[in-house]
Amino acid sequence: MSHYPALRLRRTRASAWSRRLYAEHVLTPADLIWPLFVTEGDVEEPIASLPGVSRWSIAGVVERAREAASLGIPCVALFPNTPARLRSDDGREAFNPDNLMCRAIRAIKDAVPNVGVLTDVALDPYTSHGHDGLVDAAGYVLNDATADVLVRQAIVQAAAGADIVAPSDMMDGRVGLIRTGLEGEGHANVQIMSYAAKYASGFYGPFRDAVGSRGLLKGDKKTYQMDPANAEEALREVALDLAEGADSVMVKPGLPYLDIVAAVKAEFGVPVFAYQVSGEYAMIEAAAAVGAGDRDTLVLETLLAFKRAGASGMLTYHAPLAARLLAA
């Protein structure tokens, strides 16, 4: 191997054109999925713990989908803020074919059919207790009974026009049941993006504010979401979901789990997505607000880190900002 001065690694860094030419990874708007919160009424409701992010009416999320199309963002992800009167212990509003989520899906697909719609499959936006599934008298989240409801939820979302259903509940076996249910109802081309490695994280707080579940949650989610101490277990989770029919898998949260993104990509060579979650977004915004870092630089650097780790794409609330920066 050549040594200094025959080899100067700074030569290729000396000018902007050269840095672009030698870049090992490239970030584009096509790598982005934009999460959107939808609520009832003709409103925009700013979310205090997520500065710059709002809950939108159905008309509002349609306009955001139009914006995504104009920015080259290929997909939006929908999360509903279900009214309190429609939340119940059994989360039955989740499989109402005319619920808030299904109406939002139809409105987006009618208005902007060339933008993909990803939908959350889990019961926490619909339960009065804030858990992702059904609970027994002791408060334990029931796996198989929950999975049966998730299948019904996924089918009504697919019927409304969802392009990707994304089970985020972490129940065992639910991917295979959802795949069978979708096939049986004629939705063979609806993708499943499994939240395969979703950790019981402290970074989800602002999201729970956004969907109205923070104050409802009884206990925690450690009996079904993954222990942050475990990495090999994530590979087992991914292997099972792929065997059951997942088209792609997700790691959540994002930056604290780049090692998991890289390990999943190396082990399976499948499309891996990362969710830059609400707490990560809020930290960047807080740092920028006090001058601890430049927002634009922080956003692009963190998103590029996901790509470097092996992610095919990222869910991020900074998607529209990032797309504009990349187009500049």
- Among candidate residues 109, 221, 252, 307, the one labeled active-site is 252
* N-to-C CA span, the chain: 39
Q: Nearest-5° angle of CA 50, CA 51, CA 52?
A: 110
Which of 109, 198, 221, 265 is an active site residue? 198
Name the nearest CA neighbour of 299 among 10, 32, 30, 104. 32
Q: Is 237 annotated as a binding residue?
A: yes
Would you list the DSSP string of 23-47? -S----GGGEEEEEEE-SSS-EEE-
Structure-block tokens of residue 192? 């499943």
198 catalytically annotated: yes
- Is residue 252 part of the annotated active site? The answer reads yes
Nearest residue to 232 via CA among 271, 201, 202, 197? 197
Planar angle of CA 192, 216, 151, nearest 5 degrees: 25
CA distance 303 to 315: 10
Q: Are 108 and 61 in contact, with CB atoms under 8 Å apart?
A: yes
Contact 178, 150 (CB under 8 A): yes
Hey, CA dihedral for 72, 77, 83, 84, is it positive or negative? negative
Q: Enumerate the active-site residues.
A: 198, 252
Q: Which residues are annotated as a binding site for Mg(2+)?
A: 237
Q: Which residues are annotated as a binding site?
A: 237
